[in-house]
Amino acid sequence: MGVIHKFQKSDKEWNWEGVIKKDYPLTSDPGGARGVSVRWLIGREEGAPYFALRYFEVEPGGQTVLDQHQHDHGVFILRGKGTVVLGKEKKDVSPGDVIYIPPMEVHQLINQGEEIFAFLCIIPNKEHLKSMGAL
């Protein structure tokens, strides 16, 4: 059976019923995350076997981890202004922009504005990939 998480918008935050806001993991390296939170909107908890949909907020001056994975990502920018690092390139992004990050590409999202920088990120279910021998 499907699941609905009703949207609850306030002046300060975007929330969804039944979804917990979590701090994004912090690391000690200079490429580590700063001022980032994540909400898992669709994933294991909802019974999704093939993908996960996450909502990220990056505070002004914040950034995600400079990262690289075996899976690809789809990103849709919802709010604010930022910069995406894709390999050795940096590109400015804003609401409505869509980003594809292929497997093993170094990537990072950085808030370049004075307001929250927010985006949706879809990734494959890692357990499904392992069962297929893709990881």
Residues annotated as part of the active site: 121
User: If residue 131 lies in a helix (H) or strand (E), which one and from where to where?
Assistant: helix 126-131
Query: What b/e string do you get for 7-21 counting C-beta neighbours within 10 Å, with b at 16 or more?
Result: eeeeeeebbbeebee
φ, ψ at 109 (rounded to 5°): -120, 130
Tokens standing for 109? 């999202």
